Amino acid sequence: MLKVAVVGSSGYAGGELLRILLGHPEVEVTAVTSEKSEGQHIVALFPNLGRVCNLSLEKLEPTAIASKADVVFLALPHMKAMDAAAQFVGIGKRVIDLSADYRFKDVSVYQKWYGEEHNQPGLAFMSIYGLPELHREEIKRARIIGNPGCYPTGAILALAPLVKAGLALPDSIIVDSHSGVSGAGRTPGQMYHFPEANEGLTAYKVGVHRHTPEIEKELSGLAGKELTVSFTPHLAPMNRGILTTAYAKLTKEASTEQLAVLYSKFYKKEFFVRVLGPGGYPNVNAVKGSNFCDIGVYSDPRTGRAVIVSAIDNLVKGAAGQAVQNLNIMMGWDEALGLKNLGMFP
């Protein structure tokens, strides 16, 4: 059994990691940490783990945690993961970081969008962006993985085949995403307070959301040139899920059926990406609790635009599930090991 630690276990992503890892046939969770909840039993924070997890939350002491684990998952806030990752890698452990601290090889991008100095530029340059559908071979050899953000996961998977095929006109890409409230984390805030969020729908951080450079970086790599994306996130009155609608002006005529064939071929070997047939569009209800990304495509002959819709669970394929998918690749296991749970419907 591979021994793993979850550092930063008190948040939604940490709890979801535990839920998935505790059902993984090749993994034993040997340590969980939380600075705020040190000493508490994990079930006090996540009652759903009762009778399955008997661990208590520890303080983050890298040497002590490293003595108990072969691989370390970091579910810490941005900036907090930076030094912790460096310490664990220095001890010889492989690290999967769910924060934004290691999503960019070029730390100047991080510093621009996050407004903080990155003090581990060498390790950042070593990091691999953990989107398996695009970087599987690099992930196999990685010492440190920067797990993608939830919005970028849905957006990049929605647009990758179109961009790779040269069918998206540069600078015409618009990404419109709606996320459940859990995407904001477990720390209370007025915008996420029940009376504020329930029965409401609002855009936020228009034009300045920190996930924008992730989307642009990956799509630019596929296009072979710099692409600029207009990205607008919305807060939707639901617990989980991200529904993304992406628009791009086509460089040449292509029917909906042709786009469906393109997407089906691109994702033919990808277990966790389900391309719906022409006329089919995803619903977040169908992916809730699962690691799947569902995609629907449409070619609008009136405007000459492709309209691509994707749905993921922001806590699973958008965070914890994708992290475990990366672990499976790193270990040479079946990529879907421990992740074959289907979405809960209705």
The CATH number that applies at residue 39 is 3.40.50.720
Residues 68 and 180 in one domain: no
> Does residue 87 surpass a pLDDT of 90?
yes
* pLDDT for the residue 188: 74
Tell me if 168 is assigned to some domain: yes
Residues 302 and 156 in one domain: yes
pLDDT in tens, 179-198: 999 998 888 788 888 888 89
Tell me if 328 is assigned to some domain: no
Question: 3-state class of 224 per DSSP?
Answer: coil
Strand partners, 98: none
What percentage of the chain exceeds 90 in pLDDT?
A: 92
pLDDT in tens, 120-178: 999 999 999 999 999 999 999 999 999 999 999 999 999 999 999 999 998 999 999 99
Residues 176 and 118 in one domain: no
Residues 73 and 18 in one domain: yes
Residues 245 and 307 in one domain: yes
For residue 59, give its domain range.
2-126
Residues 245 and 299 in one domain: yes
- Boundary-marking domain end, from 126, 161, 177: 126
Tell me if 202 is assigned to some domain: yes
Q: What does pLDDT average to over the chain?
A: 96
Tell me if 36 is assigned to some domain: yes
CB-based contact 109:102 (threshold 8 Å): no
The CATH number that applies at residue 262 is 3.30.360.10
pLDDT in tens, 19-30: 999 999 999 999
pTM tops 0.95, yes or no:
yes
Which one of 150, 229, 275, 316 is the catalytic residue?
150
Residues 93 and 156 in one domain: no
Tell me if 327 is assigned to some domain: no
Residues 113 and 194 in one domain: no
Provide mean pLDDT across the span 63-80: 95
Residues 120 and 174 in one domain: no
> Does residue 36 surpass a pLDDT of 90?
no
Phi, psi of 64 (to 5 degrees): -65, -45
> Measured between alpha carbons, how far is 154 from 24 in angstroms, rounded to an integer?
24
* pLDDT for the residue 2: 98
Q: Among candidates 270, 299, 293, 295, which has minimal Cα distance to 280?
A: 295
> How many C-beta atoms lie closer than 10 Å to residue 303's C-beta?
11
Residues 122 and 169 in one domain: no
Residues 186 and 109 in one domain: no
Residue 150 annotated as catalytic? yes
Tell me if 242 is assigned to some domain: yes
Residues 282 and 155 in one domain: yes
Split into its structural domains, the chain has a count of: 2
* pLDDT for the residue 1: 94
CB-based contact 31:23 (threshold 8 Å): no
